[in-house]
Structure 1
Amino acid sequence: MIRCLLFSLVSLSLYAETAPKPTLILHAVTDRPEALYQIGETVRFDISVQQADKPAQGEVLCSFSKDGVEPKRTEKIQLKDGKASVTGTLDEPGFLQLRVSLPDHPEFALAGAGFNPEQIKPSLPVPEDFDAFWDKQKTALAEVAMKSELTPLPTTVPGIDAFDVQVSCLGAPVSGYYGRPQNAKPKSYPAILFVHGAGVGGSSLGALPWATREGGMLSLDINAHGLPNGQPKEFYDEQEKGPLNGYRFQGRDDREQCYFKGMFLRVIRAIDFLTAQPEWDGKTVIIYGGSQGGFQAFAAAGLDDRVTFFCAGVPAGCDHTGIVASRINGWPKLVLVTDGKADEKGLQAARYFDNVNFASRAKCRGAAVTVGFIDTVCPPTSVYAAYNAIGVPKTIFTMPLTGHKSSPEASQFLTDAALAHVRAMKEAQ
């Protein structure tokens, strides 16, 4: 199932750093609002340019690419009353990206068109020892006794108890904020785990209100790095400059040393904690995250059968090995590419941390994913490669004119999907 939402046209309003100059606004949009086409069909991109609130004159530079990678085509189009059109197509499943700019100007606008994106396949198959590798990691984690420390927290959310939670794990601990309904009864509540996007910081108190939803939930928000919570900004800045500087590339050419191995094991240990709570209903576990959090959500669903539903907004970690199929890969760009050639060690290591492979292992009851057609951080080609590999009921929310962000509508889609799953699991009792 595909749901589509239209947003206002991509626009850039730019000003000179010194004396004010006329504002330049560029728009680019496909002739179909849903921006979806069959392979070989022609898409028309309609362009408009305004300068000083008047239609601009002259030429625009139109650059086509396969979602940001070669082959690329560039042509100049003459504006007429500030408007122009240009056409293009793809002869394979994927996304055609248009970049519109003015000669000698740095400003640009993007538009994207999908050509049978539901047919995009993973660039490489699942490694033969993928399951054995992760079974080994989970066995090592299980050998670490789970010890949790809960420190009560003040909260303005009525009807819940809140805690700072630290849970033992391999390496850094699980560090989060945990909320549960007051006077919680045993075996009564579903569990939801929130995981973070890229960056360095503590856990978020924003997930605590989820403990009051749908009759009550066990809500846990964990930071990505096992750092202490509630520290001054300077503490996290120092971590980012120091041991976590460039963390996404740490160990990128060795599956045993890859930074994301520890991150994913912390997610599994967080599930250990939630499912060990006497108030857990014994059956419902939801993972919810965006970008790097979407990466963790895919990984959790693929590695842990206790997960019953996952929500992944504009997910990172998709199709790292896209270069072997002449396609773009998503953040964190694990594979080092030099002169068009991938580092072989990094290429092979990345396969064990790829959403396309986690997706194929997911046994949950459902999934909800969002994708932006002009997302240059987690490009739609990579997201669809992972989404298409999900073998359980799933829904994708498409945003034709949106980049790497979570719009209110997209967030509502994921929220609604998570709550609908909670209701469905209760009705299944």
Structure 2
Amino acid sequence: MKISATFLLLFLLSATCLKAQNTPAPIKLADVILTADHADWNYKLNEDATIKISILRYGSPIENVEIEYQYGPEQFTPEKKGILKLQNGVGEINIGTMNVPGFRQLKVQTNIDGYVYKNEIKVAYAPFDIKPTVNLPKDFEAFWDKAKVANDKIPMDATVIHKPELSTATVNVYLVRLQNYKPGHYLYGYLSKPKDNKKHAVLFNPPGAGVKKIVPITSFADQGFISFTTEIHGISPETDEKHFQEQREKLKDYWAIDLEDKNNYYYKSVYLGCVRAIDFLTSLPEFDGKNIVVTGGSQGGALAIVTAGIDQRVTSIAAFYPALCDNSGYLHHRAGGWPSIFSDKYQNNSSEKIKTMEYYDVVNFAKKIKIPGFYSTGYNDNTCPPTSTLSAFNSVSAPKEIVITPISAHWRFGETNDKSIKWLKDKCGIE
């Protein structure tokens, strides 16, 4: 059967149009704009914060729109809820104040033509005066020194397999397996090396939270680093999908495994795995012998701080919105870090679990950092709340640069990321 050229052309055009019609809009039809009366979103203690609310459609205010709002301390039950009618699409709400350092949060939503539009904002009160609630055990350093000595006795047993299919024109990629913590216990990672046969600074990039297959990241190598991106659960990225899903289900709440036992808590092998990653990177013949960098965000930001605090070989750090910070905050009626271990949601508040977490809280590793650091967070982050991340940042006594982008939630702007890479390259003398 012959198909006419005209029919074929019409078919292709209609298919193209259908695809275009189903393309998601890159912007919202209506916007809820929240504007703090302090441009940096920072307030003094006992100073009221007033938030301007604008409901826009096509960039213009919507007349006589009604909003629902609630405000109070971040991550806790709102102090006040209400409804406000905006006569000209614009209004204001005074969300009160705080007499101790911390954050207040306003949430707003409105219904327009059957669709709900939301936004929220968190403002800071003396954010750089926020102190952690977590205790520092007297034997904290002794505990980790003993763990590192035991880990040193475990052979690294490294396997390094070149992956041409994952490599680029400028970067060689290798799948790496390292033994860690106990015989037969492994971690996996992708090593990326510039194809120039030169000596380079090494960069460790630990992963964000979750159980997911890692992928190679070659961008650090393109910037002049030998980089190592790892997972933490001992699951090869090449494992079959059935086994991977079984492991994912088994490790769904891995952060709670053996939380009552400081000597066997799940994150012990993870933290020691970070040291093992540095062991591996510094063993490479292409290592320049002096520059050792760690960087990451969320759980990766936490592990970057842990690595810098536990391993004196690290020379510089860049950490974004770290998890696992000041976990005990919820026990003091303020936001704690991801994964909200001691919030009412999980009912983990036994004395044994609280004591264990003191040995693993990122704040206590931040206190041990002695090297220059680049740090960044956003105020609108609900995953790693700024009260918790700033508890860690404020605990660092070493030279530091902190970039706050208040509007950021649990993500970073490209501009901030670029600034961190430039900062790290400057520290390593990379042009």
Q: TM-score, normalised by structure 2?
A: 0.85
Q: In 1, distance between residues paired with 2:392 and 2:417? A: 20
Report the residue type matching 1:275 in the other structure.
Answer: T
Kept in 2, the 8 Å contact 1:200–1:237? The answer is no
Matched-pair contact (CA < 8 Å) for 1:152–1:162: yes
Confirm whether residue 36 of structure 1 aligns to residue 42 of structure 2: yes
1:36-75 to 2 correspondence within 5 Å?
Answer: 36-50=42-56, 55-57=62-64, 59-69=66-76, 72-75=79-82
| 1:8 alignment counterpart | none
> Among residues 280, 287, 290, which one is paired with 2:287 in the alignment?
280
Q: How far off is 1:339 after superposition?
A: 10
* Aligned-partner Cα distance in 1 for 2:322–2:99: 26
* Aligned twin of 1:166: 177
| 8 Å Cα contact 2:330-2:343 kept in structure 1 | no
**Structure 1 residue corresponding to 2:205, chosen from 194, 201, 211:** 194
What are the equivalent positions in structure 2 for 1:300-315 lying under 5 Å apart?
300-315=307-322
2:263 counterpart of 1:256? yes
* Equivalent in 10, 24, 33 of residue 27 of structure 1: 33
Distance 1:233 1:31, change over 3 A: farther
In the alignment, what sits opposite 1:291?
A: 298
Q: Deviations over 1:249-294 (max 9, x none)?
A: 2122322232211111111101001112222222211111111101
What's the CA shift for 1:218?
1.9
Q: Deviations over 1:97-152 (max 9, x none)?
A: 11113499965310111111000001133111211221221122111012211111
- TM-score under structure 1 length normalisation: 0.85
> How many residue pairs align between the two structures?
397
Q: Is the 8 Å Cα contact of residues 378 and 386 (structure 2) preserved in structure 1?
A: yes
Name the CA distance, whole Å, in 1 between partners of 2:428 and 2:196: 20
Q: Could you say if the C-alpha distance between residues 23 and 357 of structure 1 is closer, same or farther in structure 2, counting changes exceeding 3 Å?
A: same
Return closer, same or farther for 1:245/1:340 CA change in 2, 3 Å cut-off: closer
Structure 1 position 398 matched with structure 2 position 404: yes
| Structure-2 residue corresponding to 1:16 | none
What is the rounded CA distance, in whole Å, between the counterparts of 2:419 and 2:213 in structure 1? 26
Q: Which runs of 5+ in 1 are unaligned?
A: 1-21
Q: Which of these residues, 95, 100, 115, is aligned with residue 92 of structure 1?
A: 100
1:224 CA drift (Å): 2.4
Distance in 2 between the 1:125 and 1:30 partners?
A: 34
Supply the distance in 2 between the matched residues of 1:300 and 1:132 (Cα, whole angstroms).
16
Alignment of 1:63-212 (within 5 A): 63-69=70-76, 72-87=79-94, 88-102=96-110, 107-154=117-164, 155-171=166-182, 172-182=185-195, 184-185=197-198, 188-206=199-217, 208-212=218-222
Moved more, 304-313 or 334-343: 334-343
**Structure 2 residue identity aligned to 1:93:** P
Q: 1:336–1:325: structure 2 CA closer, same or farther, 3 Å change rule?
A: closer
Which among 384, 388, 397 is matched to residue 378 of structure 1?
384
Q: What is the alpha-carbon root mean square deviation over aligned residues? A: 2.6
In the alignment, what sits opposite 1:245?
Answer: 252
Q: Identify which of 356, 368, 375 aligns with 1:369.
A: 375
Q: CA 1:324 to 1:335, structure 2 compared with 1: closer, same or farther past 3 Å?
A: closer
Amino acid at match of 2:87: K
Which runs of 5 or more residues in structure 2 are unaligned?
1-27
The structural deviation recorded for 1:323 is 2.4
Does the C-alpha gap of structure 1 residues 245 and 124 become closer, same or farther in structure 2, counting only changes over 3 Å? closer
Q: What amino acid maps onto 2:125 in structure 1?
A: F
Identity of aligned residues (%): 28
The answer to whether residue 338 in structure 2 is matched with residue 316 in structure 1 is no
Specify the alignment match of 2:339 in structure 1.
332
The corresponding residue for 1:19 is none
Give yes or no for contact 1:397–1:413 (8 Å, CA) kept in 2.
no
2:22 match: none
SS of the residue corresponding to residue 41 of structure 1 reads coil
Q: Offset of 1:413 from its aligned partner? A: 2.6
The range that moved more, 224-233 or 27-36, is: 224-233
